[in-house]
A and B are shown apart, each in its own frame.
Chain A
Amino acid sequence: MWDNLQLLFVWAPIINVQVILDGIFVGAVFALSAYGLALVWGVMNIKNLAQGDFVIMGGYLAFALHQMHVPLVLILLIVMPLMFIFGWIIYVVMIRRIIDQDMFVSLLATFGLSLLLQQVINLIFGPEVQTIDMEMPVYDAFDNMVTVPSSKIVTLVLAGVIAVAVVLFMKRSRAGQAIRATAQDPRAARVLGIDIDRVYAFTFAFNAALCGAAGVLVSIIWVIQPFYGITYSVRSFAIVTAAGLGNLPAVIGAGFGIGLFEKYTGAILGTAYEVAAPVCILLLVLIYRQIQMRRNRQVVR
């Protein structure tokens, strides 16, 4: 660990650039799936444990399309609607029935969905680790000390475009307004003529589409395997806990933050601790919140 710190800050500070860049690239992808989770959580109070598996499912759809030589942008345009339809079906079949139940029912149901998705993906695609090799050029700088694959730049740009589109959609469109109104007060929204059931279905489907997009990006920059979903679920939960519900800029900020924290943890303590990093953040945030709440807590006499 001491060696690693010296390496980072004394011997070869230039590799900080690489670590920071990597953190930003992964943060962008995390932010996408985390925002979907925040939406579903905020609007319908469903804690979706299958979030990571939606991401992996999107990744495998992209992988399948890539095998058919579909170009990247088209892959994204096909996977998102496909995942949207899938999300809608899952809502109608399952989520609608658990939405009024207590928290444990939603946790159990989505955990079951997560297991089901893993196994189905495993049955169809097999357990091999897969990746989409776009065979795009890799840029390097500082005497090859910093390398940036163009696939990661493309990923970042796509994530940015999707994020901006989502913000505009939520702010400007009628559907976005309806979602925000339902999140604030479902009863009042219903009184004002909003079809809550439709809004819920749309939100859940929209979340699946966002996860699908994240999955496409993950399959391009990393590797995917049917059982890797859980790490994305954990990261999404950590980000949402840190950022709060329904606040896209905060979610993006937290996404980048966790990406960077993860990469620095990896550089200093070793790659094995990278996955542990978001869980630590989750813990710290919960402890901080607890202390913050204690200050406001009063005893009723």
Chain B
Amino acid sequence: MFMKHGIVAAAALAVTLATPALARVDGDTITLGSSISLTGKYATNGLHTQRGYDYAVKVINEAGGVKVGGKSYKLAVKYYDDESTPARGAQLAERLIQQDGVEYMLGPYSSGMTKAIAPVSEKFGVPMVEAEGASRSLFTQGYKYLFAVLSTSEQYLATAVDFAAAKSSDPKSVRIALAFEGDPFSMDVRAGVMDKVKEYGMKVVIDDQLPADLSDMSTTLTKVKALKPDALIISGHSKGAATAARQIDEMKVNVPMIALTHCEAAKVQEKFPKTANGFLCPTQWVETLSKSDAMFGSAADWNAGFKADYPSYTSVPYQSAQASAAVYVFKEAFEAANSLDKDKLRDAISAVEMETFYGDIKFSAQGNNIAKPMFMRQINADGTYGLVEKAGDMVHPRNVAY
């Protein structure tokens, strides 16, 4: 009996949900949609991203919102948790567009998730500005509605190989150890590194793949100790950075140069201050960048404002900054298009050319941002990050004291 009622109730609920609710523009609110990883393996960075979106929405609304056709609209974001699973992300994107009537999308976290969602937004012709999918392969599919504010991932650690070459009298003799996760992002980073390694004719002595549920990479590090490479390059999102930092200390791994992604996101400088000293970390953005805009001010202003809203950060991850930049692109495009029509908006986004606190933004025909470079930073002994513009600025070999 109870079951019967349950089914009836569920059916009724389904009917209500299926009615197209026009949430796109509700009164004076423009709703952006995003499926974001709040649980699962990408949850750390999913949260950084969400906070970046929320902060930008708050600042833009406080400054009067978005002006379209002489009317001011407030921005809002409708989130769903995609549980870090691509299939779920694609499902939720479809739900956002079809059931919730969302016509403008903000990206999910990670290249893998973006890869799953992009075909959906493309199918419905919904423009998506994403801030966290850096995989090169996203921009070779001919997508028309996908735009990314960040630099593509093959640029992440390629500079580290340049630095290693510059520090050696004979780049051919440089021996490199690689440890990369098998997801699209890390594999792209690896491809960029491998291109450089081949260019210099260096030797790869270790090339290990890391698992998705990484909690122990001692076997890889054991091999690193035995082979003593000149540089160790690691990419495995936050968990990779945290596990590496923890075990490099515990196993007294002494490599003159260690470069890895997601240092800030994993807070390695805070949790493992001793080991993290000398780590090279690529970043999409630095708070000392001399770029600014009318909405958020300079990079430092954005940084200070974000920290005031989320005091738990000692060093703000770039994932949050670029998320804010993506929201800002929407505001600029809405005002440039002076329309809420999604196709006019799409054309306005593709024509965007702006300086922001996050750096310059200008999209190529493929949708990636071609106006902004990657930056490399090194962690100092006091846990701060110092910008490394050329190999000479770098502390080499790292100062280790185990």
Residues of A with C-beta under 8 A to B242: 129, 131, 223
* A116, chain B: closest CB distance, angstroms: 12
Residues of A with C-beta under 8 A to B219: 19, 22, 263, 266-267, 271, 274
Q: How many A-B residue pairs have CB under 8 A?
A: 129
B338 in the interface (beta carbon within 8 A): no
B residues within 8 Å of A by Cβ? 38-41, 43-44, 46-47, 179, 181-182, 205, 207-211, 213-220, 222-223, 225-227, 238-239, 242-243, 246, 249-252, 254, 266-267, 271-272, 402
Docked pose: A200 CA to B16 CA in angstroms: 45
Contact B271 A231 (CB under 8 A): no
Contact A145 B217 (CB under 8 A): no
A11 in the interface (beta carbon within 8 A): yes
Contact A224 B215 (CB under 8 A): yes
Docked pose: A118 CA to B40 CA in angstroms: 9
Contact A223 B239 (CB under 8 A): yes
Contact A227 B39 (CB under 8 A): yes
A45 in the interface (beta carbon within 8 A): no
Q: Would you list the 8 A-B pairs with minimal beta carbon distance, nearest first? A: A127-B43, A266-B219, A272-B209, A12-B226, A270-B208, A129-B242, A267-B219, A222-B215
A133 in the interface (beta carbon within 8 A): yes
Contact A7 B227 (CB under 8 A): yes
* B221, chain A: closest CB distance, angstroms: 9
Q: Tell me whether A15 and B226 are in contact in the complex, defined as CB-CB below 8 angstroms, given that A127-B46, A274-B211 are known contacts.
A: yes
Contact A131 B211 (CB under 8 A): no
Q: Tell me whether A267 and B222 are in contact in the complex, defined as CB-CB below 8 angstroms, given that A223-B242, A227-B40 are known contacts.
A: yes
Docked pose: A127 CA to B42 CA in angstroms: 8
Residues of A with C-beta under 8 A to B39: 118-119, 122, 127, 226-227
Docked pose: A298 CA to B46 CA in angstroms: 57
Docked pose: A19 CA to B271 CA in angstroms: 26
* A122, chain B: closest CB distance, angstroms: 5
* A233, chain B: closest CB distance, angstroms: 11
Contact B271 A272 (CB under 8 A): no
Residues of B with C-beta under 8 A to A223: 215, 239, 242-243, 246
Docked pose: A101 CA to B213 CA in angstroms: 33
Q: What are 6 contact pairs spanning A and B, CB under 8 A?
A: A26-B216, A126-B47, A147-B250, A149-B250, A222-B243, A227-B213
* A228, chain B: closest CB distance, angstroms: 6
Residues of B with C-beta under 8 A to A188: none
Residues of A with C-beta under 8 A to B249: 138
Report the nearest B residue to A234, measured CB to CB.
B213
Q: Tell me whether A133 and B272 are in contact in the complex, defined as CB-CB below 8 angstroms, given that A271-B217, A275-B211 are known contacts.
A: yes
Docked pose: A133 CA to B219 CA in angstroms: 20
Docked pose: A174 CA to B205 CA in angstroms: 58
Contact A271 B222 (CB under 8 A): no
Residues of B with C-beta under 8 A to A11: 226
Report the nearest B residue to A135, measured CB to CB.
B274
Contact B210 A271 (CB under 8 A): yes
* A29, chain B: closest CB distance, angstroms: 11
Contact B211 A127 (CB under 8 A): no
A247 in the interface (beta carbon within 8 A): no
* A127, chain B: closest CB distance, angstroms: 3
* B97, chain A: closest CB distance, angstroms: 26
Contact partner of B215 (CB less than 8 A), chosen from A19, A22, A118, A231, is A231
* A4, chain B: closest CB distance, angstroms: 7
Docked pose: A122 CA to B44 CA in angstroms: 10
Residues of A with C-beta under 8 A to B179: 271
* A155, chain B: closest CB distance, angstroms: 12
Contact B213 A228 (CB under 8 A): yes
Report the nearest A residue to B213, measured CB to CB.
A231
Known contacts A7-B226, A127-B46; 16 further A-B pairs (Cβ under 8 A): A3-B205, A7-B227, A11-B226, A15-B225, A26-B216, A126-B44, A127-B39, A131-B242, A144-B225, A145-B225, A222-B216, A266-B220, A267-B223, A270-B208, A271-B220, A274-B219
Residues of B with C-beta under 8 A to A225: 41, 215, 239
* A202, chain B: closest CB distance, angstroms: 31
Residues of A with C-beta under 8 A to B238: 128-129
* A255, chain B: closest CB distance, angstroms: 15
Contact A271 B211 (CB under 8 A): yes
* B85, chain A: closest CB distance, angstroms: 11
Residues of B with C-beta under 8 A to A119: 39
Docked pose: A7 CA to B222 CA in angstroms: 11
Residues of B with C-beta under 8 A to A127: 38-40, 43-44, 46-47
Docked pose: A22 CA to B216 CA in angstroms: 10
A230 in the interface (beta carbon within 8 A): yes
Contact B222 A18 (CB under 8 A): yes
Docked pose: A218 CA to B246 CA in angstroms: 13
* B50, chain A: closest CB distance, angstroms: 11
A140 in the interface (beta carbon within 8 A): yes
Report the nearest B residue to A126, measured CB to CB.
B47
Docked pose: A272 CA to B226 CA in angstroms: 19
CB interface residues, A 240-276, toward B, < 8 Å: 263, 266-267, 270-275
Residues of A with C-beta under 8 A to B272: 133
Docked pose: A140 CA to B250 CA in angstroms: 10
* A33, chain B: closest CB distance, angstroms: 14
Contact B225 A22 (CB under 8 A): no
* A112, chain B: closest CB distance, angstroms: 15
Docked pose: A215 CA to B16 CA in angstroms: 44
Contact A19 B209 (CB under 8 A): no
Q: Which of B182, B210, B219 has the most CB of A within 10 A?
A: B219
Report the nearest A residue to B227, measured CB to CB.
A7
Residues of B with C-beta under 8 A to A274: 211, 216, 219
* A5, chain B: closest CB distance, angstroms: 12
Residues of A with C-beta under 8 A to B402: 138
Docked pose: A164 CA to B222 CA in angstroms: 31
* B319, chain A: closest CB distance, angstroms: 13
Docked pose: A294 CA to B181 CA in angstroms: 41
Docked pose: A127 CA to B44 CA in angstroms: 5
